[in-house]
Amino acid sequence: MSWLTAEQALTLLGTKSQTLYANVSRGRIRAKPDPTDTRRSLYFTEDVKRLAARHAGRRKSETVAADAIQWGDPVLPSALSTILQGRLFYRGQDAVKLAEQATLEEVALLLWDMRRPLRLKGQGRNDRLPTLTAAFSALAERTTTDLPSLGRSPPALQTEAESVFGTVADALAPGLPHLPLHQRLAEVWNRPDAGEPIRRSLVLLADHELNASTFTARITASAGAPLSAAALSGLSTLTGPLHGGAWQGVRLLMDRAAAIGAEEAVRSYLAEGRPLSAVGHPLYPDGDARAQALIACFTLPPLFSEVRNVAEELIGERVNVDFALTAMTSAFHLPQDAPLIIFALARIVGWLAHAMEQSASGHLIRPRARYVGPPVE
């Protein structure tokens, strides 16, 4: 879980209770009432760990570095996105507010710092369904012929990013090039009423700081590889069950809820010690802002509503964007893999933005390893 009791927090910090309360009052540690006993408080785990790490001056530098990679403080400077006090920002603009009206194409202009409209080219066909296989194949083909990103001007990279984006869009949202991408998806899935929720989800998922797939894309770009290679590496990482594939865990929970009931399903997960990928997010201790914004634009199917209520009550954390995407897929009868298709189409914008930013820095990302193998002879 993402929250600690006072006793657990004090053990990690190695301080007195007065110091814990002082850190809470100064905003260094986030706290919330304990749902099982409102007279007590719970403390956000990552805040406590981070503060404990700062006070552990005796720790070696390699240990600090290792901890930083695992949900630690950002290790790379970026002007693209940040999460601050439970809110997601794109270049200083609130992503939730942008999602009220903006399209993914407009967010691309913002993140890429472009001053002209996008010109996405495509085959103009909507007689085939979106597939990740097509996106992988198209990007892999480009990586063998596209120019390296290193040493090229920002306008040249922006033009290439536009081309790479068009390639992925043609695979994941086939349709007429003049249509916005959310409309292309709604049409190819024959669900015109889903256009607005799809638009909102694309904007909310466009970027998310240095998540696993974005960090992978930056590493690729730091070596000077083409932007298409950076996008391909990001897409590969996104498919993992702990990242963009988390929706499958939500679907399995819903299948169990359909079979034995919402409360019994959640309780069985907890009894088995299995994590619920539907709730909580380490960067949003008060609830995933993206999930709340997405759920607000459609009616949750009854079973999803039951699972949400039970899970939030028993676990004490709110549902996340993986739950919201899976619920949207069910509400509008979209294809089963729609969450990952939407996630990938949206996040290509962020990967390309980060790849261009990393390329402009001219720095190679090359961490050192702390060797723990057999003794060297």
- If one counts the domains in the chain, the total is 2
User: How many angstroms separate the CA atoms of 133 and 344, rounded?
Assistant: 12
What residues in the chain have per-residue pLDDT under 70?
1, 55-75, 122-127
Same domain, 244 and 215: yes
Of the chain, the end-to-end C-alpha distance in Å amounts to 43
What is the CA 277 to chain-centroid distance, rounded?
Answer: 13
Q: Tell me, what's the pLDDT at 123?
A: 65
Q: What's the CA gap between 122 and 169, in Å, rounded?
A: 8
Residues 172 and 33 in one domain: no
Tens digit of each residue's pLDDT (9 = 90 or more) over 270-312: 898 888 889 988 888 889 999 999 999 999 999 999 999 999 9
Residues 12 and 110 in one domain: no
- 167 and 22 share one domain: no
- Of the candidates 12, 35, 69, which is a domain's last residue? 69
The answer on 237 and 135 residing in a single domain is yes
CA 315 distance to own-chain centroid: 22
As separate numbers, helices (DSSP H) first and strands (DSSP E) second, the chain gives: 18, 6
Q: What is the CATH number of the domain that holds 33?
A: 1.10.1660
Are residues 204 and 87 both part of a single domain? yes
Q: Which of 23, 39, 69 is the last residue of a domain?
A: 69
Kindly state whether residues 163 and 250 are assigned to the same domain.
Answer: yes
In this structure, the answer to whether residues 50 and 193 fall within a common structural domain is no
- CB neighbour class for 283 (10 Å; exposed up to 12, middle 13-18, buried from 19): middle
Question: Residues 188, 275: one domain?
Answer: yes
CA gap 208, 201 in Å, rounded: 13
- Structural domain of 190: 75-377
Q: Which residues pair with 4 in a beta bridge?
A: 43
Boundary (domain end) residue, out of 18, 41, 69: 69
Phi-psi sector, 85: left (phi>0), alpha (psi -120 to 50), beta: left
Question: What's the token pair of residue 217?
Answer: 């894309």
Instruction: Give, in order, the Cα–Cα distances in Å from 364 to each of 24, 211, 239, 262.
Output: 38, 18, 25, 48
For residues 93 and 27, membership in a common domain is answered with no
| CATH number for position 163 | 1.10.580.10
Q: Tell me how far CA of residue 275 lies from CA of 101, 161, 268, 278, in angstroms.
A: 34, 37, 11, 9
Going by C-alpha positions, the residue among 258, 246, 244 that lies closest to residue 307 is: 258
Shared domain for 174 and 323, answered yes or no, is yes
